[in-house]
Amino acid sequence: MKDIAIKLASANDAIKIEPIFSLYREFYGMEKDIQRTIDFLRERLEGNESILLYAERNGNIIGFTQLYPTFSSASLRKAYVLNDLYVIETERKQGIAKLLINESIEIAERDECVRISLSTAKDNPAQTLYEKMGFKESSFKFYNYNIRELN
């Protein structure tokens, strides 16, 4: 794992992150849209609306995670939503996701967050990793109200 660097993305990195971010979107059935993806990433990063970490090996991006800030009214503290986590298929099960999550936890601790929340598909095998790393299934039930159809 010494050959893997976890880096904090800036808006200038949007173009080089786009290919793996597009793979992530395609995994979820979204159509590839290079320019909209770059614009989306750049806007989030320029506006400090997200924290994006990426794993790099030999100049190649092999994984990433993205945190979105939110707040907990009950605790009167900041929290993060770990919204995206993706490792390219050939690099899975090598500890890269764990490195990205650990770095996310360090950032959340530094920012004095009360928690990091995430949601995942009921059949996602990554749940085992999340639980091993200390994530607990919430007692809350989550709902979505879709404003627009995804495309």
- State pTM to two decimals: 0.92
How high is the pLDDT of residue 49?
Answer: 97
What's the whole-number average pLDDT of the chain? 94
CA 108 – CA 110 distance, rounded (Å)? 5
12-15 contacts, C-beta under 8 A, 24 or more apart: 13/41, 13/45, 13/52, 13/54, 14/38, 14/39, 14/41, 14/42, 14/45
The pLDDT of residue 151 is above 60: no
pLDDT computed for residue 32 by the predictor: 95
Give the pairing type, strands 77-87 and 60-72.
Answer: antiparallel
